[in-house]
Amino acid sequence: MAILIVHSHVGTRQFDITEGQNVRDALDTTDWRVRAACGGVGSCGACVVQVESGGVSPLTLSEYQRISADARAQGWRLSCQLRVYSDTHIHLEHLAHTSVWHSIPTADLMPSPCKFREIGEYHYGVAVDLGTTHLRVTLWNRKTGQRIASRKGLNPQERFGADVLNRLDAALVNTDTAQELSRLVRNAIMKALRDMLAREVGEIRLMLPEIGLITIVGNTAMLALLTGQGYSDLLNPDFWQARIDCQPIDYKKWQSQWLLPNAKIIVLPPIAGFVGSDLTADLLATQLCNGTQGAFLLDVGTNTEIVLWTGKTLLITSVPGGPAFEGVGIRNGMSAESGAIWNIEQNENGLTLETLNHEPARGFCGSGLVDAITILVSTKVLKPSGRFAQPNGGDGYALVEGNSRTVITGCDVDAFQRAKAAIAAAMETLLELANMTWCDIERLCMCGAFGRHLNIQNAQAIGLLPPISADKIELNADASLAGCELALLNENGLLLFDEITANAQTFNLSLIPDYEERYINHLLLKPIRAETAHD
């Protein structure tokens, strides 16, 4: 990794950048984007920056053609052609208009397939991962198998509550609110698409009719609120393990609202009431069912979905285990954005806190919270019970003295304990139902943004992850989006989803006799026992 220091008329920022990455792509993942309109091929000349110092790539033909000799001598470059190989300072004179949409880091995306045959007359397509907190959208040329662009942004429905149940209640109380919840997401997806077309293609109006297919995955509640169908069933316990119909009642009317005249919009069906099609996408992307040995998959979000592959069948459940990992209910909690504490290490000189984009600490994202609690337990500031060794009057404990943004409170620890206990107890319950032990597990896939920066050893030390070899644990930040993309690129995408879940069994843990006792046992901040789940 290298550090890119960017100076502009509004201040100075620094960003982590992969060595060899071009500046345009690196900044597109942040809120300091360069101006652009050609997809990064060096033809528009809009993305100029001035190199002040650092190790960078030599000038390209595009730069010789579009930058004068005098400007080149002064260090002016095209950011889409400029690759960084060591810590580098640049001056960015003209920032692009601020956007809520950022590119998804390439490292988080699954590799693009080499080539696919043309599918239909309109071969551009869009994949959408519709989450409670975030939307992830990618634009594809399905003829060539090329991912043209990606975008990530907040789900605007959060104004009706961060929790799924709050949004469902709001929709049930008022029909107009239900329609507004649907409109907000639809408009957000279209804004992300327009942003991609404007910056990567340079044309919006003529390109919208060329979109031939949109595939959408998400948790069941988000899909139901998008289409306006099925959300009332989600609050009925009888539908917890049943399939929820999330398809729009009047498809033609619903499709016309997207203003994409030639696009077929496929909402990939969820598995059950609180098990969405994003989980099926995870399974497709990770190929979890291809092995003959035991494997777990966790999709940690606002709602955590858990799958055990026995080698023959899928056992599936979900628990309300995600909010704490996404910063919800934590005094200084936040999503993984600039200023979020994502890594904490202890050494002889004390604690070293790393924040995203090296910004001043603003709070903890999920991985930072795991590190913080692990360190507090190891230094005996916290007892395994989750109580502070020394009373602090409810003010909490500051990891950095005098910095209120680094405070962990007793309520924060309690929220984390409840979330991690629900996940651990669910995994052990599924193991017992399958008559398996941890020794039978050869693979564990951690999906969702929470796992992007997770320290596996710390997660195991406080009982969030099981006692299996760390090399058997995989972190897949955007697997659900990758599975949605595979469905987009395959003419039988819907069939792929049906085949994966044909033999799946869903379980409501509230009906399992020993689940509550396991949950209570796992509230302690200590490693999961390696013994069998039923011993």
Cα of first residue to Cα of last residue in the chain, in angstroms, is 46
Of 38-42, 203-207, 363-367, minimum mean pLDDT range: 38-42
Q: How confident is the model at residue 259 (pLDDT cuts 50, 70, 90)?
A: very high
Domain final residue, candidates 274, 306, 339: 274
pLDDT at position 163? 79
User: Do 242 and 387 have their domain in common?
Assistant: no
In a domain, 521, yes or no: yes
The secondary structure element, H or E, covering residue 432 is: helix 410-433
pLDDT per position as a tens digit, 390-399: 988 778 999 9
135 occurs within a structural domain: yes
One domain, residues 302 and 348: yes
pLDDT digits (tens, 9 = 90+) for 279-334: 999 999 999 998 878 999 999 877 899 999 999 999 999 997 666 787 777 899 98
Q: Look up the domain containing 533 and give its range.
A: 287-535
Determine, yes or no, domain membership for 394: yes
Neighbours of 361 (CB within 10 A): 19
Give helix then strand counts, H and E, for the chain. 14, 21
333 with 452, same domain: the answer is yes
Q: 131 and 257: one domain?
A: yes
**pLDDT score for 532:** 46
E strand or H helix that includes residue 449: none
Would you mind telling me the total number of residues written for the chain in this entry? 535
Same domain, 374 and 519: yes
What mean pLDDT, rounded, does the chain reach? Answer: 91
**CATH number where 19 lies:** 3.10.20.30
Tell me the pTM: 0.88
Is the pLDDT reported for residue 118 higher than 70? Answer: no
**DSSP string over 278-345:** HHHHHHHHHTGGGSSSEEEEEE-SSSEEEEEE-SS-EEEEEES--GGGGTTT-TTB--SSTTEEEEEE
Whether residue 332 sits in one domain with residue 219? no
| 439 and 295 assigned to the same domain | yes
Q: Is residue 240 part of a domain?
A: yes
- Residue 381 domain-assigned (yes or no): yes
Alpha-carbon span 318 to 509, nearest angstrom: 8
Q: Are residues 380 and 443 in the same domain?
A: yes
Q: Are 371 and 458 in contact (CB under 8 A)?
A: yes
d(CA 229, CA 14): 45
The answer to whether residues 450 and 322 touch, using CB atoms and an 8 Å cutoff, is yes
CATH number of the CATH domain containing 257: 3.30.420.480
- Count of the separate structural domains present in the chain: 3
What's the number of CA atoms in the CB half-sphere (13 Å) around residue 54? 25
For residue range 15-32, what is the model confidence (pLDDT) as tens digits? 989 999 999 999 999 889
From residue 364, give the alpha-carbon distance in Å to each of 17, 367, 400, 458, 461.
Answer: 21, 8, 13, 15, 19
Is residue 304 located within the same domain as residue 355?
A: yes
pLDDT at 323: 67
Interval 62-90: pLDDT, tens = 999 999 999 999 999 999 999 999 999 99
How confident is residue 116, by pLDDT bands cut at 50, 70 and 90? low
Q: Are residues 338 and 473 in the same domain?
A: yes
Residue 531 Cα distances to 436, 446, 453, 535, angstroms: 11, 22, 28, 7
Query: In terms of Cα–Cα distance, which of 478, 462, 269 is closest to 379?
Result: 462
pLDDT by residue (tens digit) across 441-452? 999 999 988 878
Give dist(CA 324, CA 462) in Å, integer: 15
As to burial, measured by CB atoms within 10 angstroms (0-12 exposed, 13-18 middle, 19+ buried), residue 36 is buried
> Do 70 and 181 sit in the same domain of this protein?
no
DSSP letter at 199 equals I
Q: Does residue 97 sit within a domain?
A: no
- pLDDT, one tens digit per residue, over 169-208 is 999 999 999 999 999 999 999 999 999 999 998 899 999 9
Q: What is the 3-state secondary structure (H, E, C) of 21-42?
A: CEHHHHHHCCCCCECCCCCCCC
Residues 393, 257 within the same domain: no
406 assigned to some structural domain: yes
Kindly state whether residue 280 falls inside one of the protein's structural domains. Answer: no
